[in-house]
């Protein structure tokens, strides 16, 4: 099933999908999300549907992915109403919740992979950054997390393997390190029109961890509104604001609970809208190795470790080279590779 990305460096000038025309085709092709307004025909009121939309639930699948406990938090919702809504969802989706493994394999065919800009890094990742899952890169300052985020903003707009046509990107910036000038340089490397590339990226600055969570509701609404058009959601970095907002020792449990909610929302978005979610993360000293202060681990603890599908650790090597190591993946072996940061973004190490 593994879809290898095309050799992005071979892209012909003008063959980029970064045009409104092609994005229009994608929209038509993939407009198959079951909107919750369909529930109107099954006795659910417009008012109840509006309340779901207000908390970022726009599709039948979105309701099915949300627990009763969460739905009970909606004003005016009780157990009877929720059961009625869940029943209506089953009628609309005609699904009992079980599908055959063959159908799973069929659904997995929709999964696409985005190139990192480096063929060796793509190979390490089994083809690139995968949709319907969360990929996390972590490492110390200057290891290339933000540069990789910028490169993906551009490569996500280019055609790839398995019929991938490219699409738009949402970038949530928590550290104020998003730089359009970097995107323009990367677009030039791939012979894409820099202005079009910039038009295809929606940017939001998150100012605190609650704001970061709230922005995801807008993201879901946008992905729903322009169904099938967005292919990548980036958060650079996932933990920075949590580390500022929760500083006391006694606040860790609260922080982890809020983090779990955010990651659950991210996971739902990735599966519901078939997008790749790419997050960056920081590292901290690993106190389980108290005598070896050099041993570092990503922040966010087990909550983050369990929520992400693929974790990649980035290191600095000699002569400016960077090293990427797969940290934990359900279907990739632990391995590492080298890459470099260039003016055109992430690239292979040139001999
Ligand atoms: P932090 O944890 O501080 O956010 P980071 O992992 O996000 O760090 P990046 O900003 O992605 O780090 O990478 C910084 C590195 O990228 C620096 O070594 C810098 O020299 C390199 N870099 C930035 N711009 C360019 C460029 N135009 N050409 C070549 N290298 C660049
Ligand atoms: Mg950074």
How is the chain split into domains, by residue range?
16-98, 111-347
CA distances from 272 to 98, 111, 173, 207, 258 (A): 17, 12, 23, 26, 21
Residue nearest to atom 15 of ligand 1 (CA): 142
Contacts of 38 (CB under 8 A, 6+ apart): 60, 92
Closest atom of ligand 1 relative to the 142 alpha carbon: 12
Nearest to 153 by CA among 125, 130, 179, 183: 183
Any ligand 1 atom below 6 A from CB of 145 = yes
Ligand 1 lined by 174 (C-beta under 6 Å): no
Distance in Å, CA 348 to ligand 1 centroid: 15
Minimal-distance CA residue to ligand 1 atom 21: 341
Query: What is the model's pLDDT at position 99?
Result: 78
Q: Is the CB of 343 under 6 A from ligand 1?
A: yes
> 146 CA distance to ligand 2 centroid (A)?
4
**pLDDT on residue 29:** 33
d(CA 330, CA 296) in angstroms, rounded, equals 23
Query: And the tokens for 4?
Result: 């290898």
Q: Is the CB of 320 under 6 A from ligand 1?
A: no
pLDDT for residue 13: 35
Q: What is the pTM of this model?
A: 0.82
Packed helices 145-155 and 180-189: angle between N→C axes, nearest 10 degrees: 60
Residue 51, pLDDT score: 94
Kindly list the protein residues that place their beta carbon closer than 5 angstroms to ligand 2, a single-atom ion: 145-146, 177
pLDDT tens digits, 254-267:
888 899 999 999 99
Ligand 1 centroid–CA 346 distance in Å is 10
Q: What angle do CA 203, 179, 111 make, to 5 degrees?
A: 55
Atom of ligand 1 nearest to the CA of 280: 7
Distance, CA 177 to ligand 2 centroid (Å)?
6
Q: Closest ligand 1 atom, CA of 282?
A: 2
Spatial neighbors of 349 by CB under 8 A, at least 6 apart, are 120, 321, 338, 339, 340
Please give the distance, rounded to the nearest whole angstrom, from the Cα atom of residue 140 to the centre of ligand 2.
9
Contacts of 117 (CB under 8 A, 6+ apart): 8, 148, 151, 152, 154, 155, 186, 344, 345, 346, 347
CB 104 within 8 A of CB 110: no
For the CA of 140, the nearest atom of ligand 1? 2
Q: How far is CA 242 from the centre of its chain?
A: 18
Determine the pLDDT at residue 294: 67
Q: State the pLDDT at residue 4.
A: 34
Residue 317 to residue 158: CA distance in whole angstroms = 30
Q: What 3-state class would DSSP assign to 196?
A: helix
- Provide the CATH topology of domain 16-98: DNA polymerase; domain 1 (1.10.150)
- Which residue, by CA, sits nearest to atom 2 of ligand 1? 141
| Rounded CA Rg of the chain | 21
Q: Is the CB of 143 under 6 A from ligand 1?
A: yes
What is d(CA 93, CA 61) in angstroms, rounded to the nearest whole number? Answer: 8
Single out the residue of 349, 351, 274, 333 nearest to residue 117, CA to CA.
349
By CB neighbour count within 10 A (0-12 exposed, 13-18 middle, 19+ buried), where does 288 fall?
Answer: exposed
Distances (CA, A) of 165 to 199, 210, 231, 330: 17, 34, 10, 26
Provide the b/e sequence for 139-155 (b: ≥16 CB within 10 Å).
beeebbbbbbbbbbbbb
Are 279 and 263 in contact by the 8 Å Cβ rule? The answer is: no
For residue 150, report the distance from its CA to the centre of ligand 2, in Å.
Answer: 10
| Å from CA of 144 to ligand 1 middle | 5
| CA 314 – CA 326 distance, rounded (Å) | 9
Residue 278's SS3 state is: strand
How large is the angle between the packed helices 209-225 and 252-272, nearest 10 degrees? 10
Each of the 351 residues of the chain gets a pLDDT tens digit; together they read 333 333 333 333 333 444 443 333 333 333 346 888 989 989 999 999 999 998 888 888 889 888 899 999 999 999 999 999 999 988 887 666 677 888 788 888 899 999 999 999 999 999 999 999 999 999 999 999 999 999 999 999 999 887 899 999 999 999 999 999 999 999 999 999 999 999 999 999 999 999 999 999 899 999 999 989 999 999 999 999 998 889 877 888 888 889 999 999 999 999 999 999 999 999 887 766 666 666 778 888 888 888 898 999 999 999 999 999 997 666 777 889 999 999 999 999 987
pLDDT the model gives residue 203: 97
What tokens appear for 192 in the block?
A: 């894409």
Q: What pLDDT sits at residue 289?
A: 65
pLDDT of residue 14: 35
In a mutational test of the pocket of ligand 1, which residue from 141, 147, 237, 315 has the highest number of ligand atoms less than 8 Å from its CB? 147
Distance CA 347, CA 120 (A): 9
Helix or strand run (H / E) with residue 313: strand 310-316
- Site to probe by mutation for ligand 1, drawn from 121, 137, 138, 144 as the one with most ligand atoms within 8 Å of Cβ, is 144
Which numeric CATH code is attached to 111-347?
3.40.50.300
Q: What is the pLDDT of residue 108?
A: 85
């Amino acid at each position: 099933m593994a879809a290898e990305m095309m050799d992005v460096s071979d892209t012909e000038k003008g063959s980029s999908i970064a045009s409104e025309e092609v994005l229009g085709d994608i929209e038509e092709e993939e407009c198959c999300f079951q909107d919750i307004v369909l529930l109107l025909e099954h006795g659910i009121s417009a008012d109840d549907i509006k309340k779901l939309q207000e908390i970022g639930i726009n599709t039948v699948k979105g309701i099915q992915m949300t627990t009763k406990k969460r739905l009970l938090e909606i004003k005016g919702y009780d157990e009877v109403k929720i059961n009625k809504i869940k029943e209506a969802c089953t009628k609309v989706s005609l699904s009992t919740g079980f599908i055959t493994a063959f159908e799973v394999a069929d659904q997995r065919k929709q999964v696409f992979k985005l190139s990192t800009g480096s063929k060796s890094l793509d190979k390490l990742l089994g083809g690139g950054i995968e949709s319907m899952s969360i990929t996390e890169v972590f490492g110390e300052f200057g290891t290339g997390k933000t540069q990789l985020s910028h490169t993906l903003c551009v490569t996500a707009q280019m055609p790839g393997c398995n019929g991938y046509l490219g699409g738009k990107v949402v970038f949530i910036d928590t550290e104020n390190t998003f730089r359009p000038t970097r995107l323009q340089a990367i677009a030039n490397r791939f012979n894409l029109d820099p202005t079009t590339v910039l038009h295809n990226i929606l940017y939001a600055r998150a100012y605190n961890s609650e704001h970061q969570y709230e922005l995801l509701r807008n993201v879901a609404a946008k992905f729903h509104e322009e169904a099938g058009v967005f292919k990548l959601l980036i958060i650079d970095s996932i933990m920075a604001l949590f580390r500022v907002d929760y500083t006391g020792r006694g606040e860790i449990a609260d922080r982890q609970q809020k983090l779990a909610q955010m990651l659950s929302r991210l996971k739902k978005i990735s599966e519901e809208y078939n997008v790749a979610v790419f997050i960056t993360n920081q590292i901290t000293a690993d106190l389980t190795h108290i005598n070896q202060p050099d041993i570092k681990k990503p922040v966010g603890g087990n909550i983050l470790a369990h929520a992400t599908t693929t974790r990649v650790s980035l290191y600095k090597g000699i002569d400016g080279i960077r090293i990427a190591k797969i940290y934990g993946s359900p279907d990739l072996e632990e391995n590492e590779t080298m890459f470099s940061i260039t003016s055109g973004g992430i690239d292979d190490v040139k001999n």
